[in-house]
């Protein structure tokens, strides 16, 4: 599964974290992965994210988890309107998207745990 590695030291301090899930029929995951790679690569290349990590849940077939770090709400808003988002949404529906839940959180600080 494609992922953007999160460095130990972030070059820009994030102020927004997004966590989410997408659920697809497990038999559609081969097709989903092909298009998900395009989404992730375009997002990492063009949208100004600090981190954009995507992983399939190994214990729940068809479930994809997202964790994202953004420098600000404006960057996240631009990402959601970027040219590669609507084609991904069309493909997701065509692949039988069953569930979509994403939540953005304001970050007030961080510490190692």
Alpha-carbon separation of residue 39 from 9, 36, 46, 109 (angstroms): 25, 5, 10, 29
Please give the pLDDT value at position 8: 47
Helix (H, G, I), strand (E, B) or coil at 37: helix
Q: Which range has the worst mean pLDDT, 6-15, 35-44, 61-70, 97-106? A: 6-15
Q: What percent of the residues of the chain are helix, what percent strand, and what percent coil, each to the nearest 5?
A: 35, 25, 40
Q: Kindly report the CATH number assigned to the domain that includes residue 46.
A: 3.30.70.100
* Phi, psi dihedrals of residue 55, rounded to the nearest 5°: -150, 145
Segments forming the whole domain that contains residue 29: 16-105
Residue 113 lies in a domain: no
Count the neighbouring beta carbons within 10 Å of the beta carbon of residue 92.
Answer: 19
- Asked if residue 10 has pLDDT above 60, the reply is no
**22 falls within a domain:** yes
Dump pLDDT digits (tens) for 58-81.
Answer: 999 999 999 999 999 999 999 999
Residue 82: half-sphere exposure toward Cβ, Cα within 13 Å? 22
Contact predicate 78/33, CB 8 Å:
no
More confident residue, 13 or 40: 40
**Is residue 3 in some structural domain?**
no
Q: Identify the pLDDT of residue 7.
A: 47
19-48 pLDDT, tens per residue?
A: 999 999 999 999 999 999 999 999 999 999
pLDDT at 45: 95
Q: Which pLDDT belongs to residue 1?
A: 52
Residue 57: both structure tokens together? 């849940």
Tell me how many domains the chain contains: 1
| Residue 9 belongs to some domain of the structure | no
Query: Would residue 11 count as lying in a domain?
Result: no
Q: Does residue 94 carry a pLDDT above 70? A: yes
Question: Could you tell me if residue 6 is inside a domain?
Answer: no
For residue 112, being part of any structural domain is answered with: no
What φ, ψ does residue 22 adopt, rounded to 5°? -125, 140
């Amino acid at each position: 599964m494609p992922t953007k590695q999160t460095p130990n030291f972030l070059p820009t301090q994030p102020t927004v974290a997004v966590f989410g899930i997408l659920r697809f029929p497990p038999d559609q995951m081969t097709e989903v992965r092909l298009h998900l790679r395009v989404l992730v690569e375009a997002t990492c290349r063009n949208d100004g994210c600090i981190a954009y990590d995507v992983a399939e849940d190994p214990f729940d077939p068809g479930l994809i988890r997202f964790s994202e770090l953004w420098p600000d709400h404006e960057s996240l808003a631009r990402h959601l309107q970027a040219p590669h988002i609507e084609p991904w949404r069309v493909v997701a529906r065509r692949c039988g998207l069953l569930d979509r839940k994403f939540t953005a959180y304001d970050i007030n600080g961080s510490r190692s745990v």
